[in-house]
A and B are shown apart, each in its own frame.
Chain A
Amino acid sequence: GQQLNQSPQSMFIQEGEDVSMNCTSSSIFNTWLWYKQDPGEGPVLLIALYKAGELTSNGRLTAQFGTTRKDSFLNISASIPSDVGIYFCAGQYKGGSEKLVFGKGTKLTVNP
């Protein structure tokens, strides 16, 4: 089935630094979503993107729907300790029926 390539797999940063992660696919996607998962909890939706080129912010988080429709980026500015967790991209690809495909996640560690 369709897969998403999410990178990096893990990141170790200092508090206050900016973070960037991305997802790529070989297929065209209609929707890109970004989730955060804390240990022992379910994923929480952060940002949803529906149009190529769309740039959407949620506080210190900014995500973009790539113009090729095959990639998406998530940036976190001025990281804080509570940003720790696993970030997942997800999307619905063109011709991919009615289900979401998930990336493997980026594990973020923020050192105070």
Chain B
Amino acid sequence: ETGVTQTPRHLVMGMTNKKSLKCEQHLGHNAMYWYKQSAKKPLELMFVYSLEERVENNSVPSRFSPECPNSSHLFLHLHTLQPEDSALYLCASSHVTGLEAFFGQGTRLTVV
């Protein structure tokens, strides 16, 4: 059983669709993160949750809406996305915020 599991692995959606990305961690960590990885750019931190409370929102557009129902699960709800939102979306968790983060395999999102 992998430590951080993301589903789906691949997603193609239209600009008017609504979809959700799911992340689950089995490591007993208290912090969870969403990152965006685009070609030729550093990893961009989107959201940080610590003990199920959002502690950081890195100026992310409102068309991305995170949800953390408990310390093991994290969602990213997507609606009315733009083609430039196409990227690899990575979930990560850590025991304490800012320390060693363990990543999931990512969801490759394509917006058409």
Q: Are B101 and A104 in contact (CB under 8 A)?
A: no
Interface of chain A, main secondary structure: loop
CB-contact partner of A97 in B40, B56, B101, B106, under 8 A: B56
Residues of the B chain whose Cβ atoms lie less than 8 Å from the Cβ of A99: 45, 48, 56, 97-98
Residues of the B chain whose Cβ atoms lie less than 8 Å from the Cβ of A98: 48, 50, 55-56, 96-98
Given contacts A42-B104, A45-B102, contact A102 B42 (CB under 8 A): yes
> Within 8 Å of chain A (Cβ to Cβ): is B60?
no
- Write the chain A residue with the least CB distance to B103: A42
B 57-100 binary contact with A (CB < 8 Å = 1; else 0): 00000000000000000000000000000000010100011111
> Within 8 Å of chain A (Cβ to Cβ): is B22?
no
Residues of the B chain whose Cβ atoms lie less than 8 Å from the Cβ of A112: none
Q: How far is the CA of A49 from the CA of B68 in the complex (A)?
A: 29
A 9-44 binary contact with B (CB < 8 Å = 1; else 0): 000000000000000000000010101000011111
Report A's interface with B, CB cutoff 8 A.
3-4, 31, 33, 35, 40-45, 48, 88, 90, 92, 97-100, 102-105
Instruction: Knowing that A42-B105, A90-B101, A100-B98 touch, tell me 11 more A-B residue pairs with CB under 8 angstroms.
Output: A40-B106, A40-B108, A42-B104, A45-B101, A45-B102, A97-B98, A98-B50, A98-B97, A99-B97, A100-B45, A104-B41
